[in-house]
Structures are given as structure tokens and as C-alpha cells.
Amino acid sequence: MKQTITKEQFRNAFQQSSERKDQFSYKALGALFDYIEGWESDSNEELEFDMIALCCEYCEYKTNVECAIDYGWSEEDLSSDDAENTAYDWLVDQTSVIKFDGGIIVASF
């Protein structure tokens, strides 16, 4: 038996969790929800809501460079005049990237 949840219920579940409320920003939760719904629609498969699994699988970052550095991006790449776009392109080659107004979410790799 599965229960369908709305974007607000999804956000509220995180925000009401004492352990996970700071895992993602409000905007990031909306973007993650939309991404998951899109994946379900494309794959024609429903996922069960598992907050802990989502927190383990996805991370939010304010900038592409910040994320890329956390995942071992070369210091040489920081000297690029367009480091944000270069970092984004590198991340897209490594994992799933969800852009939203205020940052990015990446599937941990």
C-alpha cells in the first residue's frame, strides 16, 4: 500500500523532523520533489518516501564550485575565469545534478 504525498507534505516531513530539518533548504526540497516526480513519470515507477535514504543519496550546495571541491575537483580548475560553469559541467559528467534558484542538489558519488 502506497500513499501519495504532495510537495507541501514532502517539505513538511523534513521540516518537522528534528534530525533532518536542516538537510535541505525550502527551495531545494521543492526541486528535489519535482525531480523525483519527474523520474517517477519517466520510469513509470512509483517510489516510496524514505527521508533517510534521500538524505544519504542527495546533498545540497550553494555553488557548483563548492560541490566540485568536496568531490575532489582539481585546484587547477579553480583558476578558470568561468569556474562555476566549468564545475557544473564536471559535476554533470559525474552524477545527477538538480539546479534550482539558490543552488544545486547532487546525487552523492
Start-to-end CA distance of the chain, whole Å, equals 31
Quickly count: other Cβ atoms within 10 Å of residue 86's Cβ: 18
Q: Which amino acid is at 81?
A: D
Query: Per-residue confidence of the chain (109 residues) as pLDDT tens digits?
Result: 677 899 999 999 999 999 999 999 999 999 999 999 999 999 999 999 999 999 999 999 999 999 999 998 876 667 667 889 999 999 999 999 999 999 999 999 8
Exposed/middle/buried for residue 33 (C-beta within 10 Å: 0-12, 13-18, 19+): buried
Output the pTM of the full model. 0.89
Give the pLDDT confidence score for residue 30 in this predicted structure.
98
The C-alpha cell at 2 is 502506497
The number of residues making up the chain comes to: 109
- Sequence-ordered list of residues with C-beta below 8 angstroms from that of 72, at least 6 positions apart, any chain: none
